[in-house]
A = this chain, B = another copy of it.
């Protein structure tokens, strides 16, 4: 039994419009940051898990795909490290 620290990154799929990112991009261009493009806003989730490495990986995969992201519209990836 160990404690693991997980980081989950959720991003909209490239084909999905990102109005929040477009708004940030427009705001930046008005603030003299016209060389900034392709702004996409996603989610970054940190959590801790206890258990064996294998169990924690399987559980994190399940949580990432079924709770923290919508696989229809979003891509998700995760990192797991011992705390």
Contact = CB atoms under 8 A, between A and B. Distances in A.
Given A24-B67, A67-B24, A68-B24, A40 B46 contact: yes
A51 B54 CA distance: 44
Given A41-B43, A43-B42, A43-B43, A48 B36 contact: yes
Interface residues of A, number: 31
Nearest to A83: B38
Contact of A50 (B35, B44, B47, B50): B35
A45 interface: yes
Contacts of A44: 9-11, 41-44
A73 interface: no
